[in-house]
Amino acid sequence: MIGFPLRVWPGRWTVCRLAPDDAVPAWATLPAPLVVVSRSQTELSILVPEAHVPDQVTSERGFRVIEVVGPVPFAVTGLIASLSQPLAAAGISLFPVATYDTDYVLVKDASLASAVDVLRAAGFTVE
């Protein structure tokens, strides 16, 4: 897993929670480098840049994006585990996201410097 370099993105992201039957709001469709919309029986969850989210929306703000520089083949196993284990051991919470081409780990802005140090100590190259 350590063969995949990591890249820290500028900016801050927010994870939002809406009702499961809500329509996807217009602010969630604005152009952005990463937007994730997922719906379950209990919620509509949206990850977007923090600047896109209206104040009244239920959300957890202040996430930073750490990208696994991909593409990552589907046959690769344990990648998220190799990132999450050292972060968990250091007491750093994460929010993982997977796309077709790669994976992302989001950590709170206040934990970013520590997360980068931990991941480097675990053998990852972090840009």
**Domain tally, the chain:** 1
Residue 127 lies in a domain: no
Note down the domain range covering 96: 6-121
pLDDT score for 109: 98
Q: What is the pTM of this model?
A: 0.94
CATH of the domain at 55: 3.30.2130.10
pLDDT score for 3: 82
CA distance 78 to 82: 6
Query: In 10 A of CB 75, how many CB atoms?
Result: 5
Residue 126 lies in a domain: no
Residue 52 lies in a domain: yes
Q: How does pLDDT run across 93-106, given as a tens digit for each residue? A: 999 999 999 999 99
| pLDDT-based confidence at residue 1 (cuts at 50, 70, 90) | low
Q: Which residues pair with 59 in a beta bridge?
A: 16
CA angle 112, 12, 9 (to 5 degrees): 65
Q: How does pLDDT run across 21-51, given as a tens digit for each residue? A: 999 999 999 999 999 999 999 999 999 999 9
Coil, strand or helix at 28 = helix
> Ramachandran region of residue 47, left (φ > 0), alpha (ψ -120 to 50) or beta?
beta
Sequence letter at residue 23: A
Residue 59 lies in a domain: yes
